[in-house]
Structure 1
Amino acid sequence: MNTQEIADRLALKELVDLFSNYSDTKENDKQVQLFTPNGRVNIINDGEVTFTLDGREAILNAFSSSMDDYSAVFHMSGQQTVSFKDATHADGIAYNYVTLVKTNDHGQTVTTNEGVRYQDHYEKIDGRWYIAERNSNFIWHTEEVH
Structure 2
Amino acid sequence: MSLEILEAKAAIREVFDTYAIYSDEDRLEDYKKLFIPDARVIIYFDGKLGFDLQGTDKVIEVFTAFTVNVKTKYHMNGQLLLNVNGDNATGIGYCKAHLVSAEDDKEYITEHCIRYDDTYVRENGSWFISHRISHFNIADKRLLL
Relative to the length of structure 2, the TM-score reads 0.95
Tell me by how many angstroms 1:115 deviates.
Answer: 0.2
Cα deviations across residues 44-74 of structure 1 (Å, max 9, x unaligned)? 1222322211011101111222222111000
- Aligned partner of 1:75 in structure 2 is 75
Local SS of the residue matching 1:23? helix
Task: List alignment gaps of at least 5 residues for structure 1.
Answer: none
- Matches of 1:115 and 1:145 in 2, distance apart? 18
Which of 121, 126, 129 is the matching residue for 1:128? 126
User: What TM-score comes out, normalization by structure 1 length?
Assistant: 0.95
- The one-letter code sitting in structure 2 at the alignment partner of 1:104 is E
Q: What is the aligned partner in structure 1 of residue 101 from structure 2? A: 102
Q: Distance in 2 between matches of 1:34 and 1:62?
A: 17
Are the equivalent residues in 2 in contact too, given 1:35–1:130 (CA < 8 A)?
Answer: yes
Aligned residue identity for 2:142: E
Count of aligned residue pairs for this structure pair: 144
Q: 4+ runs of 1 displaced by more than 4 Å?
A: none
Q: Point out the more displaced range, 108-117 or 60-69.
A: 60-69
What is the rounded CA distance, in whole Å, between the counterparts of 2:45 and 2:99 in structure 1? 17
Gaps of 5+ in 2: none
Q: Residue 88 of structure 2 corresponds to which residue in structure 1?
A: 89
The range that moved more, 61-70 or 17-26, is 61-70
Q: CA RMSD in A?
A: 1.0
Asked if the contact 1:41–1:52 (Cα under 8 Å) also holds between the matched residues in 2, the reply is: yes
